[in-house]
Amino acid sequence: MQRDEIRKIVTEQFYNSVTASGVQITAIPSGQLHVLVESMADGLFAALAAVEQEGDLPIAATGAVAPSMAAATTRPLTPEEPVMRQAVGDHAEEVRLWHGRPYLSIGLRYELTSQRLRIYRGILGSHIEEIELIRVKDSNVKQHVGERLLNIGDVTIVSADPTTPEIVLQNVHDPVQVREIFRKAVMDEKARRGLYYREDISDESR
């Protein structure tokens, strides 16, 4: 929800509540009263934004992945091995790698951990969606010219989850670096769990 929408809701609710109560506000000129109500709405917006930002991790602090993930190693599968192999340390501690929200918006937050992506909807996170990183297939970044000036953009996540085949992290700050953090987290989590895939490349010229 954007700032103007919150201001409009607060203003309308204020006047509706005053009208319903039967109280007559005559000591303050209507113009000044309107400014006062809008200031209250801005204060509410600031308070809600502070709640949403509480505990945010700046991208600069997420350059390193947890040691337990960094220590994971990979190697090609032999023909005798199954495509899926359980790695040692499956119960590794889950670490938060990045936390953000859409530019100038509240009620929607994103959280990336070493094992999953969570999307919180609602002022206090009343609805939560999540996807395991091992189900992620691809990711990409989309930025318009104006968004590049603000260094914001959309990060699209493509997954193998049939319920959420595509997730868009909208208007996040520094989307290119967010995508790189996400990409590394996916690779490390798949390596930790010992998940591999074979890819057949056909020669189209034949």
Query: Which residue, 199, 2, 192, 184, is CA-closest to 83?
Result: 199
pLDDT digits (tens, 9 = 90+) for 133-153: 999 999 999 999 889 988 999
Total residue length of the chain = 206
pLDDT digits (tens, 9 = 90+) for 6-27: 677 778 887 788 788 877 777 7
Looking at the fold, whether 173 and 74 belong to one and the same domain comes out as yes
In a domain, 173, yes or no: yes
Given 3-state DSSP classes, what are the helix, strand and coil percentages for the chain, each rounded to the nearest 5? Answer: 40, 25, 40
SS3 assignment, position 158:
strand
Looking at the fold, whether 35 and 92 belong to one and the same domain comes out as no
Whether the pTM exceeds 0.85: the reply is: no
In a domain, 206, yes or no: no
Please report the pLDDT score of residue 53 as a whole number: 54
Looking at the fold, whether 34 and 128 belong to one and the same domain comes out as no
In a domain, 198, yes or no: no
In a domain, 201, yes or no: no
Looking at the fold, whether 26 and 64 belong to one and the same domain comes out as no
In a domain, 205, yes or no: no
Contacts of 189 (CB under 8 A, 6+ apart): 69, 114, 115, 133, 134
pLDDT bracket for residue 50 (50, 70, 90): low
Least confident interval from 11-25, 74-88, 109-123 = 74-88
Looking at the fold, whether 185 and 155 belong to one and the same domain comes out as yes
CA 63 distance to own-chain centroid: 17
Looking at the fold, whether 139 and 69 belong to one and the same domain comes out as yes
Please report the pLDDT score of residue 132 as a whole number: 94
The range of the structural domain enclosing residue 19 comes to 3-53
In a domain, 199, yes or no: no
